[in-house]
Structure 1
Amino acid sequence: MKSSRILTVKVIPRASQNRLEPQPDGAFVARVTAPPVEGAANRAVIRLLAAHLGIAPSRIELVAGAKAHLKRFRVME
């Protein structure tokens, strides 16, 4: 049985650089250069989270907030 966890991420699209900032409460702030158009920023956040966690992007799924700044991602362990 695979376990998973939910990560809360505040996304700031069209940033000057891609950067992931862990917050004291366990959430993240993701600054991505991609615009919020046709899911480009969401895909950029998934790649950024995957690199930070050292896992494949296919193991991360957007579960809430597809069109909002505050998003929730499921990470399959």
Structure 2
Amino acid sequence: MAIWLKVHPKGCTLSLYIQPGASRSEISGLHGDRLKVKIKAPPVDGEANAALIKFMAETLGIAKKNVHLIHGETSRQKTLLVEMSFEKVESLIKV
């Protein structure tokens, strides 16, 4: 079971460590007990947060409206709420 993934009444939460300003957006393994995600966008005016939501929605095959940043707006450590089942997210993201 993935330590960075938890069940939530509305779906599941993902504990993430973000590296903004990367050469490309990708999931790059673990950072402690968090999933490490590299984001191409810079950490300026919420660009990296918007790019993170878009990237995770595309990765999971869901609409951006189903991915919510619930913690860590100005931090590298973020928590996303994804309106998708725990099992489905776990099967789509392999680390």
TM-score by length of 1: 0.85
- Please say which of residues 48-57 and 25-34 is displaced more in the overlay: 25-34
| Alpha-carbon offset, residue 21 of structure 1 | 2.9
Query: What does residue 13 of structure 1 align with?
Result: 20
Equivalent of residue 55 in structure 2, options 48, 52, 57: 48
Gaps of 5+ in 1: none
3-state SS, counterpart of residue 14 of structure 2: strand
| Paired residues for 1:28-39 under 5 Å | 28-39=35-46
Runs of 4+ with >6 A deviation: none
Task: Tell me how far apart the structure 1 counterparts of residues 64 and 18 of structure 2 sit (CA, whole Å).
Answer: 17
Who is 1:72 aligned against?
A: 79
Identity %: 29
Letter in structure 2 aligned against 1:58: K
Q: State how many pairs are aligned.
A: 76
Q: Secondary structure at the match of 1:48?
A: helix
Query: Are the counterparts in 2 of residues 11 and 71 from structure 1 also a CA contact under 8 Å?
Result: yes
- Measure, in 2, the Cα distance between the counterparts of 1:63 and 1:51: 19
Offset of 1:26 from its aligned partner? 7.5
C-alpha deviations, 1:1-41, integer Å up to 9, x for none? x7321101111011111112354x88421111111111100
Calculate the TM-score normalised by the size of structure 2: 0.70
